[in-house]
Amino acid sequence: MGRLKTFFGEAGEFGIGSRGLTVPVHGRLGDRALFSVTSDLSACDWASAKLLYMRDFQVLATHIHDRVLGIEGHASEPVSLSPRELECLQWIAEGKTAWECAVILGLSQHTVRCYLESARHKLHATSNTHAVSIAHRAGLLFDPL
Amino acid sequence: MIFTIESADQDKYPELFDEMFRMRAEVFSGRLGWNVKVENGREIDRFDSEDPLYLLSLDERSGQLRGAVRLLATTGPNMLRDVFSVLMPGGTVESPLIWESSRFAVNPQIFEARDRAEANHLVNRITVELLCGMVEAAQRAGIEHIVSVFDARMARIFRSIDCRFEQLGTPVRIGKVMTYVGLFDMSDVMRSQLGAVGDFRSSVLADGAIPPASATALVANVE
């Protein structure tokens, strides 16, 4: 009990916030990591901030883990997008919205959003625009129609 | 009530985990005849050691296990990528915002002694409760999509309870079983649709402690 108190006392001295959460990271090869976020927001503000930012915490946790692996010299595998992911990205590159992609490809909008999410993750992209740019530079997309 | 338990907490609830693994053996090996490995009456596979999150439906009063499902991150080892990749030959979806659900099971012991109509009703109700729990747990974790591999029987159950999913890839016959990949939207719309079907308007996730395993344990606690 005493050690726990000391631990949190020291944590406070180093600016660790009084509230927080930890996101587990599951890597491709079974590698694991924990990503912690702390804050000094009030209980009420923290509860709403948590809801708002949870999605970003998940993305950030995985991103930082990938970067750490890279710095440690673990080369990441070359990106391979599935045909469906490429198709969605190709139409985004042509200026179509997710809804338009869904109509063109005969998929639901939700499915298109899922394929784009997966493509963004595989390309380490922060947005669809970013993903198109990375895919284009990597020569994954066809030339403009 | 749905309880979320991380596999890291297995030591805290050894009986509960044991009950779940025995139920899985009974359902997947016993009733469905899947080619799963059962040891000492328990069905445990390699993905149980990949730190999944389990959702357990427990009876609020008796603590009896009514059903369970297992959730894995698609960024790590998962069944779609490592076992059923034939269902998505061009590559599976992967993102920290997409989870995979597997080993969805309703405990046969709770409907064994009942007539067919009542048993179906119970199975559907527990299925809807688990699905509501999946949407809520996903939303709390910032997760937007859940993918799952399931058979034609499960696809029928999802349709009968009006749980919408979209098929990814093409269904493939694996052994005797027609096998699908389904995508589930972890949205408020999905949650309210499920809530309307099963009359689960308020949250199904329990914040409190796990109920005692049996009535005798309850008495022991009171004393």
DSSP string for residues in B118-187: HHHHHHHHHHHHHHHHHHHHHHHTT--EEEEEEEHHHHHHHHHTT---EEEEEEEEETTEEEEEEEEE-S
Residue A102 lies in a domain: yes
- Disruptive mutation site among B7, B75, B188 for chain A (greatest number of A CBs within 10 Å): B75
ipTM of the modeled complex: 0.91
Interchain pair B51, A55: CB under 8 A = no
Question: Three-state SS for A28?
Answer: coil
Interchain pair B72, A56: CB under 8 A = no
pLDDT > 70? residue A145:
no
pLDDT > 50? residue B214:
no
Interchain pair A54, B140: CB under 8 A = yes
How far is the alpha carbon of A92 from chain B, nearest alpha carbon, in Å? Answer: 18
Please compute the mean of the pLDDT values over residues B196-215 and round it to a whole number. Answer: 79
Question: In B, which residues are within 8 Å of A58 by CB distance?
Answer: 96-97, 141-143
CA atoms of B167 and A108, how far apart (whole Å): 10
Question: In A, which residues are within 8 Å of B94 by CB distance?
Answer: 118, 121-122
> Residue A59: what pLDDT?
96
- Domain of residue A106: give its range: 83-137
Question: In A, which residues are within 8 Å of B141 by CB distance?
Answer: 54, 58
Phi and psi (nearest 5°) for B169?
A: 65, -165
Of A28 and B97, the structure prediction assigns the larger pLDDT to B97
> Residue B208: what pLDDT?
67
pLDDT > 50? residue B104:
yes
Of A71, A93, A119, which closes a domain?
Answer: A71
Closest Cα to residue B184, out of B124, B105, B106, B131?
Answer: B131
Show the CA angle centred on residue A77, arms to residues B179 and B170, nearest 5°: 20
Please compute the mean of the pLDDT values over residues B54-81 and round it to a whole number. Answer: 95
Interchain pair B96, A113: CB under 8 A = no
Residue A77 lies in a domain: no
pLDDT band at residue B213 using 50, 70 and 90 as cut-offs: low
Residue among B50, B90, B140 whose CB faces A26 most closely = B50
Phi and psi (nearest 5°) for A84?
A: -65, -40
For B216, residues 6+ apart whose C-beta sits below 8 A from its C-beta are none
Instruction: Clarify whether residues A125 and A92 are in a common domain.
Output: yes
Residue A11 lies in a domain: yes
CA atoms of B167 and A20, how far apart (whole Å): 37
CA atoms of A84 and B212, how far apart (whole Å): 48
> Residue B216: what pLDDT?
42
Distances, alpha carbon B75 to alpha carbons A28, A68, A109, in Å: 6, 16, 23
> Residue B218: what pLDDT?
44
Show the CA angle centred on residue B30, arms to residues B27 and B36, nearest 5°: 80
Query: What CATH number does residue A132 fall under?
Result: 1.10.10.10
Residue A76 lies in a domain: no
B117-174: pLDDT as tens digits: 888 899 999 999 999 999 999 999 999 999 999 999 999 999 999 999 999 988 999 8
A25-82: pLDDT as tens digits: 999 988 999 999 999 999 999 999 999 999 999 999 999 999 999 999 887 777 789 9
Of A126 and A8, the structure prediction assigns the larger pLDDT to A126
How far is the alpha carbon of A3 from chain B, nearest alpha carbon, in Å? Answer: 22
Interchain pair A118, B93: CB under 8 A = yes
> Residue A12: what pLDDT?
85
Instruction: Clarify whether residues A87 and A59 are in a common domain.
Output: no
> Residue A8: what pLDDT?
83
E-assigned strand segments in A8-143: 19-26, 32-39
Please compute the mean of the pLDDT values over residues B57-86 and round it to a whole number. Answer: 95
Q: What are B175's two structure tokens?
A: 């052994």
Interchain pair B95, A117: CB under 8 A = yes
pLDDT > 60? residue B14:
yes
Find the residue in B nearest to A108 (Cα): B166
Average pLDDT, chain B: 91
Provide the H-helix boundaries in B43-115: 79-82
Residue A78 lies in a domain: no
How far is the alpha carbon of B222 from chain A, nearest alpha carbon, in Å? Answer: 28
Give chain A's domain count.
Answer: 2
pLDDT band at residue B212 using 50, 70 and 90 as cut-offs: low
Instruction: Clarify whether residues A15 and A58 are in a common domain.
Output: yes
The domain ranges of chain B are 2-201
For B150, residues 6+ apart whose C-beta sits below 8 A from its C-beta are B104, B158, B179, B180, B182
Residue A53 lies in a domain: yes
Of B116 and B98, the structure prediction assigns the larger pLDDT to B98
pLDDT band at residue B115 using 50, 70 and 90 as cut-offs: confident
Closest Cα to residue B140, out of B54, B56, B205, B201?
Answer: B205
Instruction: Clarify whether residues A12 and A42 are in a common domain.
Output: yes
Burial zone of B20 (CB within 10 Å; 0-12 exposed, 13-18 middle, 19+ buried): buried
Please compute the mean of the pLDDT values over residues B17-42 and round it to a whole number. Answer: 95
Helix (H) or strand (E) holding B32: none
> Residue A1: what pLDDT?
64
> Contact A41/B52 with Cβ under 8 angstroms?
no
Instruction: Clarify whether residues A44 and A101 are in a common domain.
Output: no
The arrangement of secondary structure in B2-201, i.e. its CATH architecture, is 3-Layer(aba) Sandwich (3.40)
Of A17, A46, A71, which closes a domain?
Answer: A71
Of A18, A44, A71, which closes a domain?
Answer: A71
pLDDT band at residue B223 using 50, 70 and 90 as cut-offs: very low
Distances, alpha carbon B7 to alpha carbons B16, B48, B63, in Å: 11, 8, 19
Instruction: Clarify whether residues A58 and A104 are in a common domain.
Output: no
> Residue B217: what pLDDT?
44
> Residue B181: what pLDDT?
97
Instruction: Clarify whether residues A89 and A51 are in a common domain.
Output: no
Residue A65 lies in a domain: yes
pLDDT band at residue B219 using 50, 70 and 90 as cut-offs: very low
A77-123: pLDDT as tens digits: 777 899 999 999 999 999 999 999 999 999 999 999 999 999 999 99
> Residue A144: what pLDDT?
60
